[in-house]
Amino acid sequence: MTVELIENENENQSDKIDIKKEIFEWIKVVVLAFSFAFIITRFVTPSLVKGTSMYPTFNENDYLIVNKVAYKSHLPEYGDIILFNSNFRDERVLIKRVIAKENDTIQIKDSKVYVNGKEIKEDYIYEDIFWGEIDAVVPEGKVFVMGDNRNNSADSRVEDIGFIDKEDIIGKVEFRLFPFNKIGSQWKD
């Protein structure tokens, strides 16, 4: 009888140890998952394309990954596609391509875009003829952006949007996750 009691106590202790191990493993998984999610959301953000202003580069409902730390130390480069906050129509988040940077002279005339007096090559635009006439210098700490579907894009040509301040830039579009047949970053040169 004493042997049976000792065996039952050992089994109970073993069960308690197994339960503690199981609980500890679950806690580790949950803490790791939250830590991973926190780290990821600090550096990247998912974004869903709404509208056709970036067609043919992006279509409506393309799912993108945006690098939120890409411009912490510098402004975007020419051709970068950025996400930014705007005051346009209820403070929308917009996606556009960087055409000119601070201190650049931007001129749009006869559906041609000139940066610092040189016409830029734009193989990515949807239509060769588009609206807008501009002749300006991009202010310090700002960029000039345009959509790839120029005739269907509210961008820096629109007074309510204008030049984009570095503080309003959310990040750089780095990767397309959906649709699956276009996954990756094929739009880059």
Q: pLDDT category, 99, cuts 50, 70, 90?
A: very high
Alpha-carbon Rg for the chain in angstroms: 26
- With CA atoms as reference, report the closest residue to 80 among 171, 165, 181: 171
- With CA atoms as reference, report the closest residue to 83 among 162, 127, 39, 147: 147
For the chain, first and last CA: distance in Å? Answer: 81
Q: Give 9: exposed, middle or buried? Use CB within 10 Å, 0-12, 13-18, 19+.
A: exposed
Q: What distance lies between CA 70 and its chain's CA centroid?
A: 10
Mean predicted lDDT score pLDDT of the chain: 87
Which of these ranges, 8-12, 78-82, 100-104, has the smallest mean pLDDT?
8-12
pLDDT in tens, 48-58: 999 999 999 99
Asked whether 137 and 115 are in contact (CB, 8 A), the reply is no
Structure tokens at 120: 């830029």
Asked whether 126 and 55 are in contact (CB, 8 A), the reply is yes
- Look at residue 137 and tell me whether its pLDDT is greater than 70: yes
- Look at residue 13 and tell me whether its pLDDT is greater than 90: no
- With CA atoms as reference, report the closest residue to 93 among 168, 15, 25: 168
Sheet of 105-109, strand order: 118-119, 112-115, 105-109, 134-137
139, HSE (Cβ side, Cα atoms, 13 Å):
7
Distance CA 66, CA 96 (A): 13
Distance CA 140, CA 43 (A): 26
Read off the pLDDT of each residue in 81-100 and give the average, rounded to a whole number: 90
pTM score? 0.80
Query: Catalytic residue numbers?
Result: 53, 96
